[in-house]
């Protein structure tokens, strides 16, 4: 399994739009909304998550240099590809991006308090619950050891 992050392009746009989570996982905005948002707010970086040549997920993040953090705004693995380790592998790649930037010292994200599966994954990866909410979501931080 070779995981990579790739830009959303004309060639893979439709595939990205077809990705979806299970009905019991309504915690993340649609990929269509996220891509549209990234066009209006260019600080958002959108990436397709690939396993070899198959798109399996999507993420959107920004490099927030005022806070010295990479902020992970959107993250999803398609319902047909969950439970295969793609989420952890994609987080590993995101961590590498953050580690390579000397100005970034943490990765931050927030999620719905009832997103128990997501929270379990984030905490297993090393994110710490900061015990406060932003926009009705729990905030988690991964402190980078550089």
Per-residue pLDDT tens for 60-78?
999 999 999 999 999 999 9
Please tell me the predicted confidence (pLDDT) of residue 9.
96
For 1, residues 6+ apart whose C-beta sits below 8 A from its C-beta are 51, 52, 84, 85, 86, 89
For 6, residues 6+ apart whose C-beta sits below 8 A from its C-beta are 12, 47, 48, 50
- Can you tell me the distance from the alpha carbon of 45 to that of 126, in angstroms, rounded to the nearest whole number? 23
- Can you tell me the distance from the alpha carbon of 123 to that of 103, in angstroms, rounded to the nearest whole number? 24
pLDDT in tens, 116-143: 999 999 999 999 999 999 999 999 999 9
Q: What CATH number should be reported for the domain holding residue 70? A: 3.40.630.30
Q: What's 28's DSSP letter?
A: S
* Domain ranges, residue 34: 3-143
Q: At what angle do helices 86-100 and 116-125 cross, to 10 degrees?
A: 50
- Can you tell me the distance from the alpha carbon of 35 to that of 47, in angstroms, rounded to the nearest whole number? 9
**Is 0.85 surpassed by the pTM of this model?**
yes
Report the domain count for the chain: 1
């Amino acid at each position: 399994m070779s995981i990579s992050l790739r830009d959303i392009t004309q060639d893979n746009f439709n595939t990205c739009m077809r990705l979806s989570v299970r009905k019991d996982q309504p915690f993340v905005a649609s990929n269509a909304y996220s891509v549209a948002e990234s066009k209006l707010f260019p600080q958002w970086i959108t990436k397709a998550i690939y396993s070899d040549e198959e798109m399996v997920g999507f993420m959107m993040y920004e490099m927030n240099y005022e806070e010295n953090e990479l902020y992970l705004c959107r993250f999803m693995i398609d319902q047909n590809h969950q439970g295969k380790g793609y989420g952890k592998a994609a987080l590993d790649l995101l961590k590498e991006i953050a580690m390579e930037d000397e100005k970034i010292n943490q990765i931050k994200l927030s999620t719905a308090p009832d997103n128990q599966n997501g929270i379990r994954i984030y905490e297993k990866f090393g994110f710490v619950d900061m015990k406060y909410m932003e926009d009705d979501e729990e905030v988690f931080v991964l402190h980078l050891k550089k």
